[in-house]
Amino acid sequence: MHSYKSLCVVGLGYIGLPTAAVFAKAGLQVTGVDVNKRAVDTINTGQAHIVEVDLDGLLQGVVSNGSLKAQTTPEKADAFIIAVPTPFMADHKPDLTYVEAAIKSVAPFVAEGNLIVLESTVPPGATDKMVAWLEEVRPDLKDGCGSKYFAAHCPERVLPGRVLIELVQNDRIIGGVTDECALRAEALYDVFLKGECFLTNARTAELAKLSENAFRDVNIAFANELSLIADKLDIDVWELIRLANRHPRVNILQPGPGVGGHCIAVDPYFIVDSAPDEARLIATARQVNESKPELVISKIRRAAQKLKAPTVACFGLAFKADIDDLRTSPALMITERVARELDCKVLAVEPNVDELPDNLKELGVEFSSLANALEQADILVLLVDHKPFKRVPTGKLAEKIVIDTRGIWT
Q: Which residues bind ligand SAJ (CB under 6 A)?
A: 121, 156-160, 212-213, 216, 220, 253-254, 256, 259-261, 263-264, 319-320
- Catalytic residue, from 154, 197, 209, 320: name it: 209
Our CB check for ligand SAJ shows the closer of 257 and 310 to be: 257
Return the amino acid letter for 207: L
Integer Cα distance of 390 and 379 in angstroms: 17
Q: Are 322 and 352 in contact (CB under 8 A)?
A: yes
- Catalytic residue, from 197, 263, 314, 344: name it: 263
Return the amino acid letter for 309: A
In the bound complex, what is the minimum distance in angstroms from residue 331's beta carbon to ligand SAJ? Answer: 8
In the bound complex, what is the minimum distance in angstroms from residue 314's beta carbon to ligand SAJ? Answer: 15
Our CB check for ligand SAJ shows the closer of 74 and 260 to be: 260
The DSSP result for 84-147, as a single string, is ----B-TTS-B--HHHHHHHHHHGGG--TT-EEEE-S---TTHHHHHHHHHHHH-GGGTT-BTT
What are the φ/ψ torsions at residue 116 (nearest 5 degrees)? -125, 125
In the bound complex, what is the minimum distance in angstroms from residue 352's beta carbon to ligand SAJ? Answer: 14
CA angle 99, 103, 107 (to 5 degrees): 170
In the bound complex, what is the minimum distance in angstroms from residue 85's beta carbon to ligand SAJ? Answer: 11
For the question of residue 263 being annotated catalytic, the response is yes
In the bound complex, what is the minimum distance in angstroms from residue 318's beta carbon to ligand SAJ? Answer: 9
In the bound complex, what is the minimum distance in angstroms from residue 356's beta carbon to ligand SAJ? Answer: 19
For the question of residue 209 being annotated catalytic, the response is yes
Our CB check for ligand SAJ shows the closer of 31 and 405 to be: 405
In the bound complex, what is the minimum distance in angstroms from residue 365's beta carbon to ligand SAJ? Answer: 20
Our CB check for ligand SAJ shows the closer of 62 and 264 to be: 264
Our CB check for ligand SAJ shows the closer of 144 and 161 to be: 161
- Sequence-ordered list of residues with C-beta below 8 angstroms from that of 55, at least 6 positions apart, any chain: 17, 18, 21, 48, 163, 164
3-class DSSP assignment, residue 167? helix
The closest of 30, 9, 198 to 117, measured between CA atoms, is 9
Our CB check for ligand SAJ shows the closer of 25 and 386 to be: 386
Integer Cα distance of 154 and 192 in angstroms: 14
Our CB check for ligand SAJ shows the closer of 44 and 274 to be: 274
Integer Cα distance of 123 and 268 in angstroms: 10
Question: First-to-last CA distance in the chain?
Answer: 57
362-to-282, 310, 329, 340, 404 alpha-carbon distances in Å: 37, 20, 18, 10, 26
Integer Cα distance of 272 and 86 in angstroms: 15
252-to-223, 229, 244, 393 alpha-carbon distances in Å: 6, 15, 8, 27
The closest of 167, 261, 259, 154 to 208, measured between CA atoms, is 154
Catalytic residues, by residue number, are 209, 263
